[in-house]
Structure 1
């Protein structure tokens, strides 16, 4: 037995003044009785410690409480009985429409959670789906945002982590430019050139990271999450050849850059060059992909995301 939520929009993106519509489908092997069916909309900001995290985030995790943004409960039906493959919350029926508008000023993703309460001796049925609430169109820039780019260069002298002796003695230089401000609906663009490298290159990748920060008293706890990795080139590329950078942003994992009181959501782009050495062959799978490795050179730049009409 299970229940499933199907929203009316495949992209799950809504405006503050729009109705949240969809279907609640119960898939049952036989008819069951229930005490109530209700939908709960929750929106919170919560910092979670992932594998490899340590230091201030780990020490403060026990006192960090989720910051609520919105919570709304809608009763779909009172007690009754349902048969197999029953559809509730059909937008064509009056009881299927959410009783209010989507709440305003929600800067991040929200979660819809339905419950079918079956009584004391039976386990309740539940499911969760995610949707996005975007701000009003009137508050958005009327013209598309002109992408801002920054010029970067990567050499053995720009690396803050330890490198293998072969990389430090042989030397390398990678230059290029990449967008540092762009619209959510536009791709992340730029270019990259390997000017010289004494060591063959195994892979050239672009990492997209989300940086979430929460203010706790007089301290700020920050965590970076690797959202997407895009390979720009596989293998040792020709020297002096300009490689294009063209990355589609993952819409369900990104939002406009936010600074909202006790928390903020920012983004970073890392250009990662992996060299073909014995160590890189032996360590293809690493527990923490964000941790710098001695056979890797990288450069990170901030990325500001803006939503436009």
Structure 2
């Protein structure tokens, strides 16, 4: 029995697409001998899934059993009719448009998201169906979907800067006695509107502090919310922590 392998190669190494753009690539079949098949098919699946994590259940996780997966797209395309694939390496091109013209109200696409509780994922599955005596070939690859912003590309986005301040009066957690009596004040500004591929920019100024400050930690938090009945359930989880060393002026 000859061995065969199946692989999906997308046209973009980043695997990032928008709904209005064609999803293009090749289905690559490698086989030591020719194989007969009953058709080469490509399935495009996208869904919103509530994930169950291990450990202590949170608010969202406690109701995950009552929330069913939401299907965003489920499409099957026949790339090649039944026939035979020659030995060696065979590349079968494909092109799929996710968002058809005039179907704006039928399918609504959301950006790919791998959160702690909510998972929005898009998968490509190639399948080469064979006879009863031969195992079918199947492989799956994830591709990343971004919001369709083609109409906004000509308009430069100006980041919105937000000014903030932190003092002993804005903190709800226990503080050192020295900080309660002497106080501290940290001000700054940062951009709150940016693409995921762009850096988050801003500045932090330590104006005064009753105790020495050696470093500042910046936390990026992920906020996930779902509408359950007439209530909005929200959970927050840590994504990234960056520590900045202080530059002291004399």
For the pair shown, the structure with the greater C-alpha radius of gyration is: 2
Evaluate the alpha carbon distance shift between residue 3 and residue 171 of structure 1 in structure 2; reply closer, same or farther with a 3 A threshold. farther
2:218 is the counterpart of 1:205: yes
Contact 1:47 1:223 in 2 (8 A): no
2:83 is the counterpart of 1:71: no
Unaligned runs of 5+ in 2: 113-121
Secondary structure of 1:143's match? coil
TM-score, structure 2 as length reference: 0.71
Q: What is the rounded CA distance, in whole Å, between the counterparts of 1:147 and 1:136 in structure 2?
A: 16
What residue is the counterpart of 2:145 in the other structure? 132
What residue is the counterpart of 1:287 in the other structure? none
Q: What is the rounded CA distance, in whole Å, between the counterparts of 1:195 and 1:59 in structure 2?
A: 43
Q: What is the rounded CA distance, in whole Å, between the counterparts of 1:113 and 1:213 in structure 2?
A: 30
Evaluate the alpha carbon distance shift between residue 226 and residue 205 of structure 1 in structure 2; reply closer, same or farther with a 3 A threshold. same
Q: Which runs of structure 2 are paired with 1:105-254 in the superposition (5 Å)?
A: 105-109=108-112, 110-118=122-130, 122=135, 124-135=137-148, 137-138=150-151, 140=152, 143-162=155-174, 172-182=184-194, 186-197=198-209, 198-207=211-220, 209-227=221-239, 229=240, 231=242, 233-234=244-245, 237-239=246-248
Q: What is the rounded CA distance, in whole Å, between the counterparts of 1:29 and 1:70 in structure 2?
A: 35
Residue 89 of structure 1 is aligned with which of 92, 108, 112?
Answer: 92
Deviation, structure 1 residue 74: 0.8
Evaluate the alpha carbon distance shift between residue 115 and residue 190 of structure 1 in structure 2; reply closer, same or farther with a 3 A threshold. same
Unaligned runs of 5+ in 1: 91-95, 242-309
Q: What is the rounded CA distance, in whole Å, between the counterparts of 2:50 and 2:241 in structure 1?
A: 26
CA RMSD of aligned residues (A): 3.6
Q: What is the rounded CA distance, in whole Å, between the counterparts of 2:150 and 2:166 in structure 1?
A: 40
TM-score, structure 1 as length reference: 0.59
Q: What is the rounded CA distance, in whole Å, between the counterparts of 2:124 and 2:191 in structure 1?
A: 34
Contact 1:13 1:131 in 2 (8 A): yes
Q: What is the rounded CA distance, in whole Å, between the counterparts of 2:8 and 2:129 in structure 1?
A: 16
Evaluate the alpha carbon distance shift between residue 74 and residue 225 of structure 1 in structure 2; reply closer, same or farther with a 3 A threshold. farther
Q: Give a deviation string over 1:47-102, Cα, whole Å, max 9, x none.
A: 32445663321220111111122211111224445466634332xxxxx333x564
Contact 1:215 1:221 in 2 (8 A): yes
Aligned residues between the structures:
230
What residue is the counterpart of 1:12 in the other structure? 15
What residue is the counterpart of 2:51 in the other structure? 48
Q: What is the rounded CA distance, in whole Å, between the counterparts of 1:97 and 1:158 in structure 2?
A: 55
Q: What is the rounded CA distance, in whole Å, between the counterparts of 1:35 and 1:223 in structure 2?
A: 47
